[in-house]
Amino acid sequence: MNMLIRSIVGLIILIVLLIVPHFLEFHHQDLLIFLTINVLVVASYRLVTLTGEWSLIHAVMMGVGGYTATLLFLNYELGMWFTLPTAGLLSAAVAALLCFPLLRMTQFYFLIGSFAAGEAIRLVWIQFLDPFGGTGGLSGVSPPMIGDIDFMDPIPYYYLALTVVSICLFLLYRIEKSRVGLTLHSVHWKAPLAESVGVDTWRYRALAFITGSFFVGIAGALKVHYIGTITPNQYGIGFMVFILIWVIVGGYNKFYGPIIGVIVLTMFDESIRGFDEIRPAIYGAVLILSILFLPLGLESIPGKLKAWFIGSEVVEPPLTDE
């Protein structure tokens, strides 16, 4: 029965995802693509946070992927089939190098350390005009053409992005539910206990950090192939803060929490489009209110409603399966 309901819900979601771009105007189709990419960004960030460490370098890692794809495309005219995985691999490689200094730290130190490392990378992009193009960044990246399909159009590119992101999400979900994922949970909630049974916490934190960076690198390449330009400021602390907001407002205890967060907030963002000047303040207020009154995020609302109607106290376990 449960299985049946799930399949039906899954099917409905799939159909909606497939037909939705045809009912949108051009501007919203654009937005839909960014939203699809951002879903991958938050889902990969969640993998990093599974070990309980909040990094501030995720946005820059996306930029590493973006710059990789840009440079490969501009200098060697390599197509997307090549730049996409390479961008992921290079982000992962940079993350692997950063593991040595960064993962010596935890908590506050890790937060600040990752922020500093990210900012240093970003300033390198600003400083070295060749090859990174400085503050103005680089432009001229174009999406592929396969036969007659020009991926410059939003709709084909949306399907492309949707495919890539779906594959990545599936992999991320499998990782989280695998033995490795469960170990990551254990590193977060019971690090000393995990160590006592032989889990090398450093290795698992590194694994989460590197894998998360791999997927966000792919997201960066996906983005740059669509918009065609890349600048250091796209991946600054501003974007990082948005990632944090999406994850926290959505709720980071469940796999789909951050995804709900990014979808709801993107729609919310679109609905306050008229108030461009005060938009950041509205965001700030939403962030504060959700932390104060909904600390477990949007995904906790159904459980709360259930508890309210049925009258029983729903205990939120920190480590949940479904």
Partner 1 sequence: MELILQSIINGLIQGGLYALFAVGLVMIFGVMGVVNFAHGELVMAGAYTIWYLHAQQGLGYLPTVVVAVVLVTLIGLLMERFLFRPTRNDPLAGLICSIGMLFILQVIATLIGGEGPSKQVPPVFQGTLVVFDFLRIPNQRIFALVISVAALVTLWYFLARTKLGWALRAVALDREASALQGININRISMIAIGVGAGMAGLAGALMAPLTNINPHMGHNVIITAFIVTIVGGVGSLSGAVLAAILYALFHTFMTVYFGGTIATISGLLLMVLVLIIKPTGIMGVRISE
Footprint of partner 1 (CB under 8 A): 54, 101, 104-105, 107-109, 111-113, 115-117, 119-120, 123-124, 126-127, 237, 241, 244-245, 248, 277-278, 280-281, 283-288, 291-292, 295
| Residue 131: count of CB within 10 angstroms of its CB | 12
Closest approach of partner 1 to the CB of residue 100, in Å: 8
- Helix, strand, coil percentages in the chain from 3-state DSSP, rounded to 5: 80, 0, 20
Closest approach of partner 1 to the CB of residue 56, in Å: 10
**Nearest to residue 63, comparing CAs of 242, 235, 241?**
235
Closest approach of partner 1 to the CB of residue 74, in Å: 23
Closest approach of partner 1 to the CB of residue 269, in Å: 13
Q: How far apart are CA 298 and CA 36, in angstroms?
A: 19
Which SS3 state, helix, strand or coil, does residue 249 take? helix
Question: Would you say 64 or 244 has its CB closer to partner 1?
Answer: 244
Question: Would you say 12 or 282 has its CB closer to partner 1?
Answer: 282
Question: Would you say 12 or 278 has its CB closer to partner 1?
Answer: 278
Q: How far apart are CA 198 and CA 202, in angstroms?
A: 12
| Residue 57: count of CB within 10 angstroms of its CB | 31
Give the list of residues 6+ apart from residue 39 with CB closer than 8 angstroms, or none: 165, 169, 259, 262, 263
Extract the tokens encoding 271. Answer: 């609905």
Closest approach of partner 1 to the CB of residue 217, in Å: 21
Question: Would you say 127 or 178 has its CB closer to partner 1?
Answer: 127
Extract the tokens encoding 72. Answer: 């490969």
Closest approach of partner 1 to the CB of residue 290, in Å: 9
Question: Would you say 103 or 218 has its CB closer to partner 1?
Answer: 103
Question: Would you say 204 or 242 has its CB closer to partner 1?
Answer: 242
For residue 175, the number of C-alpha atoms closer than 13 Å in the C-beta half-sphere is 21
What type of residue is 168? C
